[in-house]
Amino acid sequence: MAQVIADRRDIDFVLYEQFDVQTLFDCDRYRDLNRKACDMVIDAARDFGIKEILPTYAAGDREGIRFDAGKVTVPECFRRPHRLFVENEWIAMTEDPDLGGQGLPHVIAKAANEYLVGANFAFTAYATLGHGAGKMVELFGTPEQKALFLNKLYTGRWGGSMLLTEPEAGSDVGALTTTARPNPDGTYSISGNKIFITNGEQDLTENIIHPVLARIEGAPAGTRGISIFLVPKYWVETDGRMGAFNDVVCTGVEEKMGLHGSPTCSLTLGGGGKCRGWLLGEPNQGMRIMFHMMNEARLDVGFQGFSHATAAYLYALDYARQRRQGRDLAAGKDANAPSVPIIAHPDVRRMLMWMKAYVDGMRSFLYYVALAFDRKETAADAERANYWQDLIDLLIPVVKSYCSDRGFEVCTQAMQVYGGYGYTREYPVEQLARDCKITSIYEGTNGIQAMDLLGRKLAMRKGGVFMDFLAAVRQTAEEAGKIDALGALAAAVGDAADAMEKSALALAKQAGGPGLKVAFAHACPFLDAMGDLVVAWMLLWRAKVASPRLDALCAKAKNPAETVASNRQAAFYDGQIKTARFFIRSLLPVTRGRIQAIVNAEGGAVEMDEKGFGGL
C-alpha cells in the first residue's frame, strides 16, 4: 500500500500556479522567504509525517488512551514522534521566530500540515492545541502572562486545551455555570465542571494550560457576563516554576467512535476548593476573545475534514490501480479476456472522479481562506485589510461545514471503492471515516455554522460582503470565458452565481418576516449550495490556469492525445480541465436544483405538529 497522504504536485499547483503565493515574498513580513525555503519546509513535513507520524495512525487507534485514577496515559507509540515534533518546531509555524515559531505564511503552514495533521490528527492535536492557547495569551495576555506562558506553549513544552462545554451548556454557552471568585492577590478561584475537553488530561507534557470560560460572581447573565481565565494543571509561580497541583481533576474520558488516541475528558475544577486562574483580557470579554480565535479554529476543523478526505482518496486511487477484478467492459462476454485493475471500470472511475473533484476543490478553498489571512496581515492599507477580514468572516462557516461534511463523504466513498475490504481494519479507510466524522460536530456543529451564515454573515455591510464574494466568482468566470475550451463551463458558473444571489435575497427577506423559521430550516441547504459554488469557482480557476499550459505542451507535439498520455505534466493539466468539466456539468446542476428548493421555501419541516413526526 502506497504511503501517500497528500498530492504534492497538486499542492505546488495551488500554491504557485493558481494563487501565485510568491507575491507574498515581496511584503516586508516575508521578505526573507522564497519558494526554495517554503518547499524545504513542506518537504521536511512530508518526510516527518510519513516516516514518524503515519506509523502511529493505526497503532495509536488500536492501543488507545488509558484512564486510571484521574490520569490519562497516551499511546506509547506517540512519545518519540511527539518529542521530535516539538524539537523540530512544528507547533507554531506561523508565529514570530522570537516567540518559538517559524514565521511562515498561513498558506504555507497549511501545505505542511497536509502531511502532519493528515498523517494523524489525534497525534498532532496534543501539540497544536497548545498553540491555540498560546495565541490567546499573545493577543490578550498581560506582559506577565506572556512571559510565563507564551514560549512554553508555542514550543510545546506545555500543552493546552479549551474548556468551554458544560453538561447543560453545550451550544448554549451563555447557560454555563462555572464561576470565578476574585481573590485578594488578583487571581480567581474557579469552580465548575466541563465536558468534551480534547486533551484535557494527558501525560505528554509537563503542564497543561486550560483557557476556561466562567462567570465572575455578580456578572450579567448570558454570554454578556462570560470571562475567560488561564487555569494551569499545575500552578505556575511568578518566576515560571511549576508549583502544586491546581485542583483540575479529570473525572472520566469518553468512549468515542473514532480518535481513540486522543482523550475527550470530563474535568472538575475546584472540587477541593483549590483551583485558581488568571483573568485573560477584561472581565466579561470572554466571548469576544473566544470568537477572535474561532476563525482560525474553524478553518482548522475544515482542514481536518479535508485532510482525512485527501488521504482516503489517494488510498482508494492506489487500491484501484492495483486491485484486479473482472474483465474490461469492452471485452463483452469473452471469457478469455484478462482481468483488469478496477480503475478500468466506468463506475469506479466515476467514484474516483467524484472524490478528486471535491478533494481538489476543497484544497483550493482552504488555501484560499488561509491566503486571505496572509493578505489581511500584509495589506498595504486598512481598506484592503478590512476587505480580506470581511471575506474571511463570510467564508469561515462555509469552509468549516462544507469541508467537514464533504470530507466525511469522500471517506465513505473511498470505502466503497475498496468494497468489502474497505469495511475492515486491514485497510485505513474505515478509520479515516471514523476519525473524520467528529469534524462536522465540534467547534460549533454544522447546523450552527449555517445559522451563523444566514443570521449574521449575509447581512455584513448590508449584504456587501456577500456581493464581493460573488464578484470574485464572476471575475474568474469572465476570465475563463475568454478561453474557448472553457466558455460553457464559465457560463454555467456565472449562472450559478446569479442563482445564489437570488436565493440569498429571497432567504434574507423571508428571515426578516413571519417566515423566519422556514428560512432557517433552509440555512444548511443554502450553506451547502454556497460551498458547491465555491468548489465550482475553484475548479474553474484551476482549469483557467491549466488550459494555456496544456496548450503549450501539446503545441510542441504532433499528436496532442499522445502528449497527454505520455507526458506527466500534460496529463496533470488535462486532469484539471476534465475535473472542472465533471463537477460543473455533472454536479453543479444538482446544486441548481437545491438553490431552487431554497427559493421554493417549503415550510413543512417547521409547520408540522411535533406529534406528526411519529415515534409516539
Q: What is the pLDDT of residues 461-514, one digit of tens each?
A: 999 999 999 999 999 999 999 999 999 999 999 999 999 999 999 999 998 889
Q: Quick one: angle between helices 346-377 and 382-418, nearest 10?
A: 160
Q: Residues 91-115: what's their mean pLDDT?
A: 93
DSSP E strands in 18-158: the ranges are: 66-68, 71-73
Nearest Cα to Cα of residue 572 among 584, 581, 563: 563
Q: Residues 272-283: what's their mean pLDDT?
A: 96
* pLDDT of 174 above 80: no
Per the CB < 8 A criterion, the answer to whether 111 and 364 are in contact is: no
Nearest Cα to Cα of residue 257 among 397, 413, 426, 441: 441
Beta bridge partners of 67: 72
Per the CB < 8 A criterion, the answer to whether 264 and 126 are in contact is: no
* pLDDT of 53 above 60: yes
Which of 52, 166, 430, 443 is catalytic? The answer is 443
Domain range 287-444, its CATH number among 1.10.1740.110, 3.30.70.330, 1.20.140.10, 3.30.450.40: 1.20.140.10
Neighbours of 159 (CB within 10 A): 27
What amino acid is encoded at 392 in this protein? I
Q: Which band of pLDDT confidence, cut at 50, 70 and 90, is reported for residue 1?
A: low
pLDDT in the model for residue 614: 94
Lowest mean pLDDT among 272-286, 336-350, 561-575, 589-603: 561-575
Count CA atoms closer than 13 A to 285's CA, side-chain side: 11
Coil vs helix vs strand at 229: strand
Lowest mean pLDDT among 190-199, 410-419, 563-572, 607-616: 563-572
Dihedral of alpha carbons 283, 287, 290, 293, sign: negative
Per the CB < 8 A criterion, the answer to whether 110 and 19 are in contact is: no
Per the CB < 8 A criterion, the answer to whether 158 and 146 are in contact is: no
CATH number of 8-154: 1.10.540.10
CA dist 348 and 327 (Å) reads 13
Q: Which band of pLDDT confidence, cut at 50, 70 and 90, is reported for residue 296?
A: confident
* Cell numbers 441547504: residue: 525
Q: Quick one: angle between helices 346-377 and 523-555, nearest 10?
A: 100
Per the CB < 8 A criterion, the answer to whether 554 and 570 are in contact is: yes
Q: Residues 249-265: what's their mean pLDDT?
A: 96
What amino acid is encoded at 567 in this protein? N
Q: Which grid coordinates are listed for 23?
A: 507575491
* pLDDT of 115 above 70: yes
DSSP H or E stretch at residue 207: none
* pLDDT of 175 above 90: no
Nearest Cα to Cα of residue 419 among 328, 335, 326, 354: 326
Q: Which grid coordinates are listed for 149?
A: 506562558
Q: Which band of pLDDT confidence, cut at 50, 70 and 90, is reported for residue 170?
A: low
pLDDT in the model for residue 2: 58
pLDDT in the model for residue 332: 85
Q: Which grid coordinates are listed for 585?
A: 456539468
CA dist 157 and 433 (Å) reads 32
Per the CB < 8 A criterion, the answer to whether 65 and 253 are in contact is: yes
pLDDT in the model for residue 3: 65
**Alpha-carbon distance values, 292 to 187, 412, 443, 491 (Å):** 24, 33, 13, 38
Each residue's pLDDT tens digit, 222-253: 989 999 999 999 999 999 999 999 999 999 99
Cα-trace Rg, the chain: 25
What amino acid is encoded at 71 in this protein? K
CA dist 257 and 121 (Å) reads 15
CA dist 380 and 372 (Å) reads 14
CA dist 366 and 372 (Å) reads 10
Nearest Cα to Cα of residue 96 among 131, 55, 142, 63: 131
Each residue's pLDDT tens digit, 529-577: 999 999 999 999 999 999 999 999 988 877 777 777 788 999 999 999 9
- In whole numbers, what is the pLDDT of the chain averaged over residues? 94
- For the chain, the structural domain boundaries read 8-154, 159-286, 287-444, 456-606
Instruction: Say yes or no: do domains 8-154 and 159-286 share a fold.
Output: no
What is 348-373 written as a DSSP string? HHHHHHHHHHHHHHHHHHHHHHHHHH
Each residue's pLDDT tens digit, 183-194: 999 999 999 999
Per the CB < 8 A criterion, the answer to whether 458 and 508 are in contact is: yes
pLDDT in the model for residue 169: 72
476: Cβ contacts below 8 Å, ≥ 6 apart? 493, 537, 540, 541, 544
Coil vs helix vs strand at 107: helix
CATH number of 159-286: 2.40.110.20
Nearest Cα to Cα of residue 279 among 127, 443, 151, 136: 136
What is the pTM assigned to this prediction?
0.95
Q: Is 168 a catalytic residue?
A: no
The residue with greater pLDDT, 555 or 316, is 316
